[in-house]
Amino acid sequence: MTKNDLFSIVKHFELITTDRYCRRLSRHNVPYKHLGVSIVLSGIHAIIFDLDGTLYFSDGLAREVSLAATRFIARLKGIEPDTAADMIRETRARLSIASGVDTPLTTVCSELGGSPRQFHEAITPAVTPELYLKRDERLVNLLASLKKRYELYIYTNNNSTLSSRTLSTLGISDLFNGVFTIEDSWRPKPDRSALRSLLSSIGRLPEECLFVGDRYDIDLRLPAEMGSAVMLISSLDDLFRLEIPAGGKTP
């Protein structure tokens, strides 16, 4: 992350945050200082959320996705699951080193010979968000409040079936103006063409949008490069910094 990346995170905001958030920025080699305790959005008309690891956190569900991916590669290659798991780890590390950024699981499986469509068709029956997630009233209230002032969207590398089930289980299906999944282009984030298509679909310029995600390289780097504000989170407490104070101004 460069100083320009940091500017993209804090522009359009009056941002006051915690040491923990600042330490996360420092892991991207960004010098940091105290910036405050609340966010006041300015000039933003649309907030675009990642889904998995952003609007919920579940180690159990993450393990289930990882196991489903391992079984998919094991069947594809005709190898044992342990060998497939090692192959996935090694491939992800190799691709990330080569590109200099984190590599999403869909891209790793494509590199190993399984198309994004095949990968998602294989994992969908094996993943059960309903076992790990439940309705989150605080999240519902946050999004309902934000929806009064902003357009809200989902942009995820997950597929439409699992995304729909996840949103329904969390109780937030009806709070978004639109949901964009891997199936819209079969090109996982980060992808410049897919991102431009999303912005065109919602009729917004990059600078009118805030992107919120838990993985800087995958969710946020490209939007920041294109001129959007971005917000990096690692917990739901981070997400709730978007709460609008009583009497807060509408942009």
Does 76 lie in the same domain as 51? no
Are 194 and 223 within 8 A, CB to CB?
A: no
In a domain? residue 19 = no
pLDDT of residue 26: 38
Q: Identify whether residues 162 and 227 lie together within a single domain.
A: yes
Do the bridges between strand 178-180 and strand 209-213 make them parallel or antiparallel, or are there none, so unpaired?
unpaired
210 sits in which H/E element: strand 209-213
- Tens-level pLDDT at each residue, the chain (251 residues): 444 444 444 443 333 233 333 334 434 443 332 222 234 477 899 999 999 999 999 999 999 999 999 999 999 999 999 999 999 999 999 999 999 889 999 999 999 999 999 999 999 999 999 999 999 999 999 999 999 999 999 999 999 999 999 999 999 999 999 999 999 999 999 999 999 999 999 999 999 999 999 999 999 999 999 999 999 999 888 998 886 544 444 44
Residue (of 236, 212, 75) closest to 155 by Cα position: 212
**The model's pTM:** 0.82
Q: Does some domain include residue 27?
A: no
The residues that bridge with 213 in the sheet, in sequence order, are 232
Looking at residue 194, its amino acid is A
Boundary-marking domain end, from 130, 147, 163: 130
Between the alpha carbon of residue 195 and those of residues 80, 108, 132, 155, 157, the distances in Å are 37, 20, 30, 9, 12
**Is the residue at 219 inside a domain?**
yes
- Whether residues 79 and 99 share a domain: the answer is yes
Number of residues written out for the chain: 251
Report the domain count for the chain: 2
Residue 49 within a domain: yes
149 and 101 housed in the same domain: no
| Helix or strand run (H / E) with residue 222 | helix 221-225
Could you tell me which residues come within 8 angstroms of residue 174 by beta carbon, excluding any fewer than 6 positions away?
none
Q: Which domain holds residue 82?
A: 59-130
202 domain-assigned: yes
Query: What is the gyration radius of the CA atoms in the chain, in angstroms?
Result: 18
Residue 244, pLDDT score:
56
Is 114 domain-assigned? Answer: yes
